[in-house]
């Protein structure tokens, strides 16, 4: 079953790669290819696809957010923060960008205070905001505030 899913994913990616070769100016094809790489943990390929998508669809806040997540996965934490900041300048209420900025601050840059600040702004805008795990952001804030700071 696992192998069948992997083959299916590989076929889907191959189809999307072909679509971007056939229509290199189709921004949405690059977005979908980026998502396929994102979902399969191929950060460098996703970064490339999302950057091509943004060249064709400048200012797409969701693509910028996904690109930021991939920069984080690739260890380029500051680039991720810069992108999230651009998104939040355009839309301070952008839930995914705000949440992920907190994640990068916490896990990428070890800046707990700044991460808490981002998540507190997030729950002001979106009281029911939740992490992908389903855990409420408000609970994450409580948990972080109770944990002793790491030296």
Give per-residue pLDDT as tens, 28-44. 999 999 999 999 999 99
Q: What is the mean pLDDT of the chain?
A: 94
- Which CA distances in Å does 53 have to 9, 17, 37, 94? 20, 13, 13, 20
- Which CA distances in Å does 149 have to 80, 104, 117, 136, 139? 24, 17, 15, 21, 17
Cα(27)–Cα(23) distance, rounded to whole angstroms? 9
pTM assigned to the model: 0.90
DSSP E strand stretches across the chain = none
Percent of the chain with pLDDT over 90: 89
User: Residue 151 pLDDT > 80, yes or no?
Assistant: no
User: Residue 121 pLDDT > 70, yes or no?
Assistant: yes
81 within 8 A of 49, measured Cβ to Cβ: no
Positive or negative, the Cα torsion across 29, 90, 104, 142? negative
Confidence band, pLDDT 50/70/90 cuts, at residue 55: very high
Confidence band, pLDDT 50/70/90 cuts, at residue 141: very high
Question: What are 130's strand-pairing partners?
Answer: 136
């Amino acid at each position: 079953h696992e192998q069948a899913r992997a083959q299916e994913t590989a076929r889907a990616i191959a189809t999307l790669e072909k679509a971007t070769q056939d229509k290199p100016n189709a921004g949405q094809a690059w977005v979908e290819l980026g998502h396929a790489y994102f979902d399969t943990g191929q950060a460098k390929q996703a970064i490339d696809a999302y950057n091509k998508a943004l060249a064709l669809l400048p200012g797409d806040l969701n693509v910028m957010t996904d690109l930021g997540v991939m920069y984080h996965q690739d260890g380029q934490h500051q680039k991720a923060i810069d992108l999230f900041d651009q998104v939040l300048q355009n839309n301070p209420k952008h839930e995914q960008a705000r949440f992920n900025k907190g994640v990068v601050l916490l896990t990428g840059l070890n800046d707990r205070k700044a991460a808490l600040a981002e998540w507190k702004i997030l729950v002001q805008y979106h009281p029911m905001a939740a992490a992908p795990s389903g855990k409420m952001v408000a609970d994450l804030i409580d948990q972080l505030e109770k944990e002793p700071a790491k030296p």
